[in-house]
Amino acid sequence: MNQQDNLKGNFSLKGFTSIQIGIYILIAAYAIKSILDGFLDKHFSDFSVKENSVILITALVSLAFLFSSSALFYNGKRTAKKQQVQLWNEASKSNLYKYTSSFLILFLTLYFLSKQGHTAYLTPIFLVIYATILFLFKQKEGRELLIMSGVCILFAIICFLIPSYWYSSLFILGVAHITYGVVVK
């Protein structure tokens, strides 16, 4: 493997990073489900409770994204140090630009859908865009990421057909990340 291949591999979903991201997805999905279950049980028509729930869910999603991004960054930093290469080289800067712009598109799309009242489509659209992101960032040896992308597309289709399947889809995505992290080191 030459040095250019090493530079591209600074930021990857292998090992503990994928496990961390899976755990963050599981925690966020469970917390969102708990918030929504509590909201539906107590105050369906109270606007302030609804508004607070939306703010809390947005904060949870933002924290999951922030923690996942931090896991990728610190893993990349460790990898670069271990390989004795610069962390911020042309390949990693390009990946950062693609990563930032793809997640910005994801969040803007989800924001637009929620403002239009299409909350049933939030999870399927998230899964489709996330599958695209996984596909775009796959490494040469990352056939397993293609499988995870396919699983995301499959669950997106299921969520389009059965909107109440959103929690199970996110739960399985979190477990898939954990499994990927254990299998691919």
DSSP codes joined into one string, 74-106: HHHHHHHHHHT--SSSHHHHHHHHHHHHHHHHH
| Averaged pLDDT, 78-84 | 81
Residue 45: pLDDT band (50, 70, 90) is low
Q: What is the pLDDT of the chain when averaged over all its residues?
A: 82
How many CB atoms within 10 Å of residue 84?
Answer: 8
Report the C-alpha gap between 80 and 11 in whole angstroms.
Answer: 9
pLDDT of residue 88: 78
> Is it the case that residue 14 has pLDDT exceeding 60?
yes
Whether the Cβ atoms of residue 177 and residue 27 lie closer than 8 Å to each other: no
Residue 3: pLDDT band (50, 70, 90) is very low
Q: Best-predicted range by mean pLDDT among 30-44, 108-122, 131-145?
A: 108-122
Nearest CA to 118 among 86, 59, 64, 160?
160
pLDDT of residue 145: 80
Nearest CA to 95 among 133, 67, 129, 63?
133
Residue 49: pLDDT band (50, 70, 90) is low
| Averaged pLDDT, 16-36 | 92
Which two structure tokens, joined as six digits, stand for 134? 């996984």
Report the C-alpha gap between 13 and 126 in whole angstroms.
Answer: 18
Which two structure tokens, joined as six digits, stand for 173? 């995505």
- Cα dist. 47→13, 44, 62 in Å? 40, 8, 22
> Is it the case that residue 96 has pLDDT exceeding 60?
yes
| Averaged pLDDT, 115-128 | 89
> Is it the case that residue 6 has pLDDT exceeding 60?
no
